Homo-oligomer: A and B are copies of this chain.
């Protein structure tokens, strides 16, 4: 549906579709900006969550960036929309370097990351081949979670740094992502993880500097650590992705309240299995994604928590099962809440486990204000690699 065709109310939309509460989003963005302003460190939003130039404009402080991306498709799309300072925050593979060189040749300052001498050598070789020194950060593993050079492996770090700096690339420093923060619950654990992320990244930058190598950038961050960090000495920027939308997983971590979640899926009641206490709706895993992140948290939200059309949640009503285009709603096990009396055709909104995964299933956002069902705009999303 094109923007100009959007109906004036959510009740006129075909379901399932994605709804974005722009008032909640603005509040979420402002909260992180204010926190980081106090710490005097700039934010580099990770746009993998939003994948929309319309949303990016409201998330970035300046139209030309900085921002992070997870695919070259995002780099191309956001680059074309005017964002110039981009970090491709996934370890680069040699077969992507031609496309990266082409993006950079269009005036977009796209930076890459590596965590091996092999990848560093490939970036250096491409830099020499094109005459454009590709700006590169070394990824640090600060928590054993994913990729990156182990933070205590100074020899490996220096070897990668030399392969970049002496090989012809533009060594910019280090970056890390505390993915393990997604397993930390509560303020104390998140503060400790944020300090671990900071201190290990800063120490690795020092390793490079002591080896005579440059490290002007020290880039760290995840949404949980960004909100709970108290000290950013030595850090030059913070990255965070899901904070504009938030989701039930972030609620489970204590990073936000349920009423901060700005993203929901609009759905329509198909029918009932009354003996079982089930309500069937036309949003299944295709609309919600298969993400079940809250299954490992204290409160399992199934495939999502159910709200009415205005965004007020029904106590303990969750999507307990999902088929491709059908969801099964029921009262959470152990709850004394009563199944609401909903008729075929009634419309609902579903808060997702994981905004990045649910958003990726849709081609755009229908935009509303908190508590209202009036559709104010339609903003497109893109996808692919």
Q: Report which A residues bind B (CB closer than 8 A).
A: 14-17, 48, 70-72, 90-96, 99, 114-116, 118-119, 122, 141, 144, 146-147, 150, 179, 268-273, 275-276, 280, 282, 285-287, 289-292, 323-326, 328, 343-345, 347, 356-357, 360-363, 383-385
Assess the B290–A326 pair: CB atoms within 8 A: no
**Contact between B275 and A150, CB atoms less than 8 A apart:** yes
Let me know if B326 and A147 touch, CB within 8 A: yes
* 16 pairs, CB–CB < 8 Å, chain A vs chain B: A14-B385, A15-B95, A90-B270, A90-B282, A90-B325, A91-B270, A93-B344, A118-B271, A119-B271, A144-B276, A146-B280, A146-B328, A147-B280, A147-B326, A285-B357, A290-B290
Q: Is there an interface contact between A344 and B119, defined as CB atoms closer than 8 Å?
A: yes
Give 8 A-B pairs besides A116-B272, A146-B328, A285-B357 with Cβ atoms closer than 8 angstroms: A14-B385, A70-B324, A90-B282, A91-B270, A93-B268, A147-B270, A290-B291, A290-B357
Contact B345 A93 (CB under 8 A): yes
Contact, CB under 8 Å: A16 / B385 = yes
Contact yes or no, A93 B269, CB < 8 A: yes
Contact of A270 among B119, B150, B268, B270 (CB under 8 A): B119
Q: How far is the CA of A91 from the CA of B147 in the complex (A)?
A: 44
**For A347, what are the chain B residues with a Cβ–Cβ distance below 8 Å?**
95
Contact (Cβ within 8 A) B290 A146 = no
Number of copies: 2
A275 to B291: give the CA distance in the assembly, Å: 29
Given contacts A271-B147, A273-B141, contact A326 B91 (CB under 8 A): yes
Please give the distance in Å from A94's CB to the nearest CB on chain B.
Answer: 4
Which B residues touch A95, using CB under 8 A? 14-15, 268, 345, 347
Q: Give the chain B neighbours of A268 by CB distance below 8 A.
A: 93, 95
Q: Tell me the complex Cα distance, A272–B114, Å.
A: 11
On whether the beta carbons of B275 and A325 are closer than 8 Å, the reply is no
A72 to B146, CA, bound (A): 40
Assembly CA distance A95 to B114 (angstroms): 50
Q: Which of B115, B292, B325, B384 sits near A271, CB closer than 8 Å? A: B115
Evaluate whether A70 and B325 lie within 8 angstroms (CB atoms) in the complex, with A95-B15, A119-B271 already known. Answer: yes
| Nearest-CB residue, chain B, relative to A353 | B290
- 5 closest A-B pairs by beta carbon, nearest first, are A290-B290, A91-B270, A118-B344, A93-B268, A94-B345
Q: Which of A70, A269, A344, A363 has the most C-beta atoms of chain B within 10 angstroms of its own C-beta?
A: A344
Query: A344's contact among B72, B116, B290, by CB below 8 Å, is which?
Result: B116
Question: In the complex, which residues of chain B have a beta carbon less than 8 angstroms from the beta carbon of A384?
Answer: 362-363
Complex CA–CA separation, A344 to B95 (angstroms): 10
A16 to nearest B CB, angstroms? 6
B292 touches A91 (CB 8 A): no
**A290 proximity list for chain B (CB < 8 A):** 289-292, 357
A146 & B15 in contact (Cβ 8 Å cutoff) = no
Structural contact, A344 and B122, CB atoms closer than 8 A = yes
Question: How close is A304's CB to chain B, nearest CB, in angstroms?
Answer: 13
Whether the pair A71, B325 counts as a contact (CB closer than 8 A) is yes
* Chain B residue nearest in CB terms to A364: B384
Q: Which of A95, A118, A287, A291: most chain B CB closer than 10 A?
A: A95
Q: Which residues of B contact A362 (CB under 8 A)?
A: 384
A14 with B122: in contact, given A48-B324, A71-B325, A270-B147 (CB under 8 Å)? Answer: no
Q: State the Cβ distance, A369 to closest chain B Cβ, in Å.
A: 23
Bound complex: CA A361 to CA B285 (Å): 12
Q: How far is the CB of A175 from chain B (nearest CB, A)?
A: 14
Give the residue name and chain of the B residue nearest to A71 (CB). B325
In the complex, the answer to whether B118 meets A323 with C-beta atoms within 8 Å is no
